[in-house]
Each structure stands twice: as structure tokens, then as C-alpha cells.
């Protein structure tokens, strides 16, 4: 009775949808398990648009935990509206869920599945890195096999990518992005995080019909 909006983060997939069916006020999904994270997706799209000047026809790397990473799940769904070419870079046990790949096929979106981010680096407009999250793994041994498998730094990025390529990350990071990239022109992850303020303000205004 005290709230005009409820912003909900929950460890179970579908929790926000269930809450929305019974709550008398709008529910904003701030992440439901390993399913989706739509508010992060909107600030990601905004960050890409502000730097690239468009959301259309971009070449996009999604790197790291693509199986449990809810931020990349939401981003893939949204990108189907903008005719991207998507490169999925992950270990085999962390590849993008089949239902999202099927959605890309249904919408005739071009994509490739890779295990090494260096394979197509010179084509990429947006490099979206994610951390491999220990808490998502049902078996800790599987986590031990893949932790630290992807680390980007000046040595393996600079001079090998497009001049205007941007690096995004939903944060927090562990060791997958070296701090030596933080001051480069490619690093956009801190601005990306800052963009969450106006984007989430706009969301709240929208659901309040202001």
C-alpha cells in the first residue's frame, strides 16, 4: 500500500511475471534468475545508440556466460528489431539457450557461434563482455573448468579491433576485463553504468504515465 512501483529482483525465473499478475501497482523486472534483465537491456541499447549513432546493422560480440547471463538474453531479444550480426563467444557448456537461438532463426538474424573472441575481432562494433558467475552453476566443478577462460586487455585488443569499437559490461567485473583497458577509448562500461540513471528514471516515468 506504500508503493507506486515495485522494482523486483529475484532468483527464480518468472518471479516478476507472477508478481505482476497479482500486484496492484506496476512491477519492474530488475532480473529474474538467469532468464531476463530488461532494464539493463534498455540502458545497453541507449549506450550503444549514443556512441554508434544507430542500433541498426551492427556486428556484436556477446562473450562469456551466455547460458546463465540474463543481461545477454534480454539484449538478444531486443536486437532482433535492428538486423544485427551477432557472434556468440563462450565455452560449449555456456552457450546461448536454444529458445533464443530459435528466435533468431525465426527472425532471420545472422549469427555465428565461436569459442575464441579473436576470430572476428576486426569486424566488431560492440564487444559485450560478461563475467562467468559462480553462483549460477549447479555444479561448482563446471565453474572451475571455465572460470577465467576469457580475459581481454590492451595486448589482445588494441590495434586488432575497429577504431570505434566499444566494450560494454553489465558489471561488476571480476578479472575478465583488465584495468589497463579502463582509460582507453574503447572502454564504455563505466558510462554504460551511469546511463542506467536516466534510463531507469524514464522507465519509472513511463509506468507512472507521466
Please give the pLDDT value at position 146.
72
Q: Which pLDDT tens digit goes with each residue over 12-21?
A: 999 999 999 9
In this predicted model, which residue has the larger pLDDT, 148 or 182? 182
DSSP state of 16: H
141 has a pLDDT exceeding 90: no
State how far the Cα of 22 lies from the Cα of 72, in Å rounded to an integer: 28
Please give the pLDDT value at position 132.
82
134 has a pLDDT exceeding 80: no
State how far the Cα of 50 lies from the Cα of 59, in Å rounded to an integer: 16
pTM: 0.92
Q: Nearest CA to 186 among 210, 160, 206, 204? A: 160
| Torsion angle of C-alpha atoms 173, 40, 144, 124, degrees rounded to 10 | -80
- Residues 103-124, mean pLDDT to the nearest whole number: 94
Please give the pLDDT value at position 178.
96
Q: Which pLDDT tens digit goes with each residue over 174-205?
A: 999 999 999 999 999 999 999 999 999 999 99
Please give the pLDDT value at position 136.
67
196 with 44: CB under 8 angstroms? no
Q: Which pLDDT tens digit goes with each residue over 57-108?
A: 999 999 999 999 999 999 999 999 999 999 999 988 899 999 999 999 999 9
Please give the pLDDT value at position 135.
67
- Residues 161-174, mean pLDDT to the nearest whole number: 95
State how far the Cα of 93 lies from the Cα of 7, in Å rounded to an integer: 32
137 has a pLDDT exceeding 80: no
State how far the Cα of 114 lies from the Cα of 104, in Å rounded to an integer: 16
Helices (H), ranges, the chain: 15-22, 38-52, 70-79, 98-106, 140-146, 154-157, 189-207
In this predicted model, which residue has the larger pLDDT, 75 or 210? 75
| Residue-averaged pLDDT of the chain | 93
* Axis-axis angle for helices 189-207, 38-52 (nearest 10): 120
Amino acid at each position: 500500500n506504500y508503493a507506486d512501483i515495485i522494482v523486483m529482483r529475484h532468483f527464480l525465473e518468472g518471479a516478476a511475471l507472477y508478481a505482476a499478475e497479482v500486484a496492484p501497482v506496476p512491477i519492474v523486472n530488475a532480473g529474474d534468475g538467469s532468464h531476463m534483465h530488461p532494464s539493463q537491456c534498455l540502458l545497453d541499447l541507449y549506450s550503444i545508440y549514443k556512441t554508434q549513432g544507430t542500433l541498426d546493422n551492427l556486428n556484436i560480440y556477446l562473450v562469456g556466460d551466455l547460458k546463465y547471463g540474463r543481461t545477454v538474453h534480454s539484449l538478444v531479444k531486443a536486437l532482433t528489431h535492428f538486423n544485427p550480426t551477432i557472434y556468440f563467444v563462450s565455452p560449449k557448456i555456456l552457450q546461448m539457450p536454444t529458445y533464443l537461438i530459435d528466435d533468431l532463426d525465426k527472425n532471420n538474424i545472422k549469427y555465428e557461434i565461436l569459442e575464441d573472441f579473436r576470430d572476428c575481432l576486426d569486424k566488431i562494433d560492440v564487444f559485450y563482455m560478461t563475467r562467468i558467475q559462480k553462483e549460477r552453476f549447479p555444479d561448482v566443478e563446471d565453474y572451475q573448468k571455465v572460470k577465467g577462460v576469457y580475459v581481454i586487455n590492451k595486448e589482445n585488443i588494441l590495434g586488432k579491433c575497429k577504431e570505434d569499437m566499444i566494450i560494454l559490461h553489465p558489471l561488476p567485473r571480476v578479472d575478465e576485463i583488465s584495468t589497463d583497458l579502463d582509460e582507453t577509448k574503447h572502454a564504455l562500461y563505466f558510462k554504460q553504468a551511469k546511463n542506467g540513471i536516466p534510463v531507469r528514471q524514464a522507465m519509472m516515468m513511463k509506468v507512472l504515465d507521466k
